[in-house]
Structure 1
Amino acid sequence: MMNKLLLLPFLILCPLSHADFSDQGEITFESRKFENDNSRLTYDDNLALFTRAQLKYISGGFTAALRGYGRVDSKDKDRNHLVVEDAYGSYIFGDEGRFKLLAGWKLFNWSAMEAFHPADVVNSKNFDGEIENLEKKGELTLEGEFVVGDGTLNLYFWPRVESPIFPSSRSRTGVNFGVEFQDSVWVDGTDTQSNSSWQSQWGIRFNQTIGDLDFSLQYLDHFDRVHPLLGYSNGISFGGSEVPSNQLELRPHFYRVKEVGGTLSYGYEDYLIKAEGSYREYEDEFQTLTPITTTSFERRSPKDHGELALGLERIVSFDSVEHEATIIFEVTSILGPTKIERRKLSTFQRDALLGLRYNFNDFMGSELFFSYIQDIEYTDERLINLSFTRRLSDQWKYKIGTRLYQAKENGFYGLQVYKGDSQGYLNISRFF
């Protein structure tokens, strides 16, 4: 954390004349209550304090930005984190500011979809949260940007990989098989495995606007943090099968992948048409020993696959009450692997979402949101989300909601992982 805060001297050394400095932040009291699982080994409720702060300094072509969040939980100490999202300096130069250089930690948002994000893959995530919209961690980035037409061409180099944040074995938001995760393993080729975070990655992205059409294309050579394999590197033969040599060494394994993808958004009258996709080819010679059940294991590696998401939104206005509703439909699918292999790759391997965002357009900014995610292949699995947000004043806001997970049985894949983990929550925020 201290290394990242070394950006702050930029704010002092740059001249204050003709400069723009801004800061903002929030403090949120978070509470959530899970349905009772009749286990003393897990926490059925959480009380936490969340805070986020953002600083930005602009002077001429120079910009310095610092943003991050922290969380302290009263029970689950593994939820206590301090995360840097942005901590970079950038400089715009050249004829009409057509070039930009950036260095530091950066958070990328490469998706416009509500729940399914095949192309938004750069940042590591905090898996203790809403699985369709997880919090992210900033990635150490060197970036060059060139203005091309009505868009940009961006070149990226990432010298380091940030490990995702996983829930503890006592958390209700994931499954750790009753064992705390050890350090992440970065798999690069047949037998090349490392626990070091200093792993090089690179990418290129082109985005353009043509009338009502926005699109982007990208190519990445990086480590896939979206589809980890949870398992063991080492095993021994026992009873005619292979078992872990040490079951306390459960680790997330991340494989190097060559990935091509892109996004598209097109506005047509009252509709917004969206598409997002990617194709991933893994360096998959090494196979991780992963659990099938609590007592049986298999060696496997991620399967090369494509992932496609399509979306349609329509805004409906109610002039008589001045309310506005956004109707959302999305569908996603993993393409290539078999049904069983798809299920092992992702929670949303072939799912559809129907959502509604209802804006009351009142003085207090009241908004109702509803989403229903249905697994198309495993029809007994679904996720229902309902929330209501409203300001209490110019500085205070609350959000109350519920998340309902439904699955036929508990398991290691899909929404089976969250069976019995439905929850209600209340967040009260103060902004400054």
Structure 2
Amino acid sequence: MKKLILTASALLAGAGTSPLVSALDWSLEAGIEGRRFLESGAYSGQVDDQWSLTLQPEVVWDAESGNGRFTFVPFYRKDFADNERTHGDIREAMFMTWNGPWELRAGIGKVFWGVTESLHLVDVINQTDYVEAIDGDQKLGQPMIQGIWLSDVGTWEAFVLPGFRERTFPGEAGRYRTELLVSDDAEYQADEEQQHVDLAARWSYVSELNGYPLDLTASVFRGTSRDPLLVPQVEVVNSVLTPTELVPYYAMQNQIGSTIQFAPEGWLLKAELLYRDYQIDTLPGVIEVKDQTAAVGGFEYTLVGPFGDAADLGLLAEYQYDSRGADYSDAQNDLFLGTRYVFNDMASSEILAGITQDLDYTGTRLFLLEANTRLNPSMTIDATITLVTAEEESLASIFRRDDTFEVALNFFF
């Protein structure tokens, strides 16, 4: 946390002197979350129940000049079962200023590039906060300087990313973990390790095709991979070579990505395309590092008021492909089918249910149901059910006993 604050201060100092502050706004989100795992853990030490508390304040200063803003969003979770899930982070500490078609942002922030529902391939700027959720949607704050230019031929963005965030992993008592615990001592291909400066750029364009909205993006990234390779460490125990832990290895990569969204009447067609070129072929005697070509694409079709009420029913289908195969990815040849029911009520109630079926290992599938509603103007409730069925040969088998029912109450002040 201290290192992040110092990084943010340095970036803000480099952005120039901020304008005088004339407006201050703040809010606080607090939550209590309970997880009940429906089976005993697959590995020694795992708990069956997890309770935790979260705090996420947000403070916003607006400049007197009208063209500057600073946003500060820290986050903290206290987990009463897994010490590794107890953690704090600066989700955002970002100064923004703009002038005509130009915008400059400096500090710590979050950037989201995905468009599909089941998988976000091209989303590469921020590191995954894995102890928060296994779907990859929760991210750690990333130190960055971001320049944005709005033009007639699209929006152009350039990123300088000074400082790397390591992925979070559960501890011995936690669930959704590997049999061997993941070490806190990561290794890097870059000589600068966490201090390596990554670079990224993105172009986005909004147009029309036959009178319907068409959104296109293309992006490039060069730097340290956000996805670590987990390398087993071996020691001699009773004259036998025995794996003792997994060490995260962060290789260097080049990445090209693209997204497409097209919204003809009632439909939303979307896809993410990715090519990732790792700058290393093997980790000596351990792991072959394969370059990656991947895609996810499909549609969402919305039925308006299908039952004669104000609700909307969305039907979703997406296909996932990864050239590296089942030994490297659990989204190598999978089909996602789902439905989204939006009540369109004052409580903003919504239910999303979906199943991801592995087409190589037909006995492997993931079922997910998410529901949320507002109980009153300052309280919401979220419920999640996650069910995993997995063949022993598939990567998903490490979660085979992690079926979960989760409820979270969130309070807003």
Same fold (TM over 0.5): yes
Task: Tell me by how many angstroms 1:223 deviates.
Answer: 1.5
Alignment of 1:57-72 (within 5 A): 57-59=61-63, 60-72=66-78
**Structure 1 stretch displaced more, 351-360 or 1-10:** 1-10
SS at match of 1:416: helix
Residue 328 (structure 1) aligns with: 316
**Structure 1 stretch displaced more, 217-226 or 51-60:** 51-60
Deviation per CA, 1:178-203, whole angstroms, max 9, x where unpaired? x3413221124xxx6x6x41112111
Residue from 417, 423, 428 that aligns with 2:398: 417
Residue 170 (structure 1) aligns with: 173
Aligned-residue sequence identity (percent) comes to 23
Residue from 199, 204, 210 that aligns with 1:202: 199
Does residue 78 (structure 1) correspond to residue 84 (structure 2)? The answer is yes
Residue from 89, 107, 111 that aligns with 1:108: 111
Task: Tell me by how many angstroms 1:218 deviates.
Answer: 0.8
TM-score (normalizing by structure 1): 0.85
Does residue 397 (structure 1) correspond to residue 380 (structure 2)? The answer is yes
Q: Check conservation: 1:302, 1:345, Cα contact below 8 A.
A: no
Task: Tell me by how many angstroms 1:243 deviates.
Answer: 5.5
Residue 304 (structure 2) aligns with: 317
Unaligned runs of 5+ in 1: 290-298
Does residue 43 (structure 1) correspond to residue 47 (structure 2)? The answer is yes
Q: CA RMSD in A?
A: 2.6
- Check 1:234–1:174 CA distance in 2 against 1; reply closer, same or farther (3 A cut): closer
Unaligned runs of 5+ in 2: none
Residue 231 (structure 1) aligns with: 231
Task: Tell me by how many angstroms 1:235 deviates.
Answer: 8.3
Task: Tell me by how many angstroms 1:82 deviates.
Answer: 0.6
Residue 52 (structure 1) aligns with: 56
Task: Tell me by how many angstroms 1:325 deviates.
Answer: 1.2
Task: Tell me by how many angstroms 1:233 deviates.
Answer: 7.3
Q: 2: distance between equivalents of 1:309 and 1:90? A: 33
Residue 407 (structure 1) aligns with: 390
Alignment of 1:353-432 (within 5 A): 353-409=336-392, 414-432=395-413
Q: In structure 2, what residue type is equivalent to 1:219?
A: V
Q: 1: distance between equivalents of 2:259 and 2:388? A: 29
- Check 1:4–1:171 CA distance in 2 against 1; reply closer, same or farther (3 A cut): closer
Does residue 183 (structure 1) correspond to residue 188 (structure 2)? The answer is no
SS at match of 2:327: helix
Q: 1: distance between equivalents of 2:207 and 2:341? A: 30
Q: Check conservation: 1:270, 1:315, Cα contact below 8 A.
A: yes
SS at match of 1:377: coil
Q: 2: distance between equivalents of 1:168 and 1:128? A: 9
TM-score (normalizing by structure 2): 0.89
Number of residue pairs matched by the alignment: 398
Does residue 277 (structure 1) correspond to residue 268 (structure 2)? The answer is no
Q: In structure 1, what residue type is equivalent to 2:197?
A: S
- Check 1:311–1:36 CA distance in 2 against 1; reply closer, same or farther (3 A cut): same
